[in-house]
Amino acid sequence: MKKTRKTGEPINRREMVKRTAAGVGAAIVLPDPGETATKTPTSFAGLAADYDKYDGLGLAALIAKKQITSLELLNAVRQRVEALNPKLNAFCDLFFDKAEAQIKTGLGNGAFKGVPFALKDIGIHMAGVKTISGSRVFKNYTPNFDSTLVERYKQAGLVIFGRTTSPEFGLTTTTESVLFGQTRNPWDLERTSGGSSGGTSAAVAARILPAAHGSDGGGSIRIPASCCGLFGFKPTRGRVPMGPTQFESWNGCSHHHVLTISVRDSAALLDATAGDELGSPFLSPKPARPFLKEVGAPIGKLRIALAIEPTTGSPVDPECRQATLDAAKLCEGLGHHVEEARLPIEDSIMRGAFLTIIRVSMARTLEDAAKVLGRAVTDQDVEPITWLIAQAGKQISSVEYSRAIATMHQTGLAMAKFMQRFDVILSPTLAKLPVKLGVLSLSRNDVQGYSKDVGEFGPHTALYNVTGQPSMSVPLHWTKDDLPVGVMFSGRFGQDDLLFRLAAQLEKAKPWAGRKPKV
């Protein structure tokens, strides 16, 4: 018979580790109701002490059971922001007054009712809150409407209190800007937190909140997830709405979702936000059931392609290589078949098309920005690399642009054929450890050096933006110096459900949520 603990008896370290490893999604310690007064918070002070032991669904459960109020939870987050943001610079805007108003006027009745949440400062709008996109060009832009995604976040019951930092227009894989400065990695304050969702990754890794919004146009959810030891999931193209003012970004390469501590939060948040949007040019296959039900579901034996070497030919850091090899061994130990494979991609052609799309998109963005500024944008309004990207976009012909779109489609076809042999592709998320701040900044004047450094840092991720396939970074490795190293698993178009099943299996086999930075 299973022994039960007497009320008031403390949980010892060994038992906590066992409970942390047990059960899918239980990498966050979720105390049972009434277990002990010291482990189940019934007051603001109790929650402040135990807050980082809960994921988003865990916090929502406390609110639903009236063990804590939404306002007390928001105040606990406010305390953490005040204590940690000066070190990290993860937030560029805070509006706790608006969050309090959301609570007072009534929250949506979704799975995350009362849970604090933050939006990345790019590509998503909230009425009465600035959307700055990390750029001086839009520093005064305040929309009067909610994006469809924000509407769905509110329906889920989330309490939105702030904006997380992004580099200018999300154009690089670090989070640094002239306007807001450098965002720091909680694991090493001299290193990047990744980009472009680096404010989100820093905030979640530091346990300021258990989940927050991000977007991914070339790896911008998965890269910061790898840098900060988080679970970062990029859904299938068209899965998450982007309207109503813009239904695609970078010709369908950019996707929105979240960075989280637990797999189950990511799945539940995708359930809350996924679905068709009126006017959208993209539709993703509808799931057979809620994604949350995939967490812990049987997965069977997967055929996994191991693709460590970048198609660019750039080198892979030994730690990133070892992390991927260890993940392959873990998958084999779980009963999956892992086979080395070479991806069917000519990188220079694929990447050339991808960069063409970005350059043209930036040329349009700066031209449209003139309507906000009331004059043409000049090189004094944006960072040097941003300006050069936009100027290059103006030189691209309509034929080149059309050819780039056709190349994207052919890349998707080639990968779809490849995926007939495999269920999942395993590769490093990054080819380097988180680099020092400044290396990937858009304020550099040597565009060739910048392009080389960005390309060598994250050569694996952009492919899945071009093809629209679901892809995730899973935190399975840390260096001896306690730097996190993510590994990337990518699935067939539309098969987000399979990735969640695999992620949950990995989370149970090798839990990560107990590892926290000492910031």
Per-residue pLDDT of the chain (519 residues; tens, 9 = 90+): 333 333 333 333 333 333 333 333 333 544 333 333 334 455 656 666 788 899 999 999 999 999 999 999 999 999 999 999 999 999 999 999 999 999 999 999 999 999 999 999 999 999 999 999 999 999 999 999 999 999 999 999 999 999 999 999 999 999 999 999 999 999 999 999 999 999 999 999 999 999 999 999 999 999 999 999 999 999 999 999 999 998 999 999 999 999 999 999 999 999 999 999 999 999 899 999 999 999 999 999 999 999 999 999 999 999 999 999 999 999 999 999 999 999 999 999 999 999 999 999 999 999 999 988 999 999 999 999 999 999 999 999 999 999 999 999 999 999 999 999 999 999 999 999 999 999 999 999 888 899 999 999 999 999 999 999 999 999 999 999 999 999 999 999 999 999 999 999 999 999 999 999 999
Cβ-based burial of 308 (10 A; exposed 0-12, middle 13-18, buried ≥19):
middle
Pairing verdict, β 484-491 and 424-428: antiparallel
Q: Residue 383 carries which DSSP code?
A: -
- Decide: helix, strand or coil at residue 338: strand
CA distances to 88, 201, 245, 372, 470 from 365, in Å: 29, 26, 13, 11, 27
Which of 118, 119, 115, 100 shows the shortest CA–CA distance to 56?
115
What are the residues facing 478 on neighbouring strands?
A: 484
Q: Strands, E, within 88-155: which ranges?
A: 91-94, 116-120
The first and second tokens of residue 41, run together, are 């918070």
Pairing verdict, β 303-306 and 337-340: parallel
The stretches of 133-218 forming alpha helices (DSSP H) are 148-155, 198-205
Any idea which residues carry the catalytic annotation?
A: 120, 196, 220
The amino acid that residue 105 corresponds to is T
Q: What is the rounded distance in angstroms from the CA atom of residue 65 to the CA atom of residue 56?
A: 14
> What predicted TM-score, i.e. pTM, was given to this entire model?
0.92
Task: Determine how many CB atoms are found less than 10 A away from the CB of residue 457.
Answer: 27
- Answer for the pair 47, 71: CB distance below 8 angstroms, yes or no: no
Q: What is the rounded distance in angstroms from the CA atom of residue 493 to the CA atom of residue 343?
A: 16
Owner of token pair 């730097």: 483
The amino acid that residue 168 corresponds to is E
The residues, ordered by sequence, that sit 6+ positions from 478 with a Cβ below 8 Å of its Cβ are: 229, 484, 485, 515
Pairing verdict, β 188-192 and 184-185: antiparallel
Question: Which domains does the chain show, CATH number per domain?
Answer: 13-347+403-509 (3.90.1300.10)
Q: Residue 196 carries which DSSP code?
A: S
The residues, ordered by sequence, that sit 6+ positions from 240 with a Cβ below 8 Å of its Cβ are: 149, 255, 256, 257, 270, 273, 274
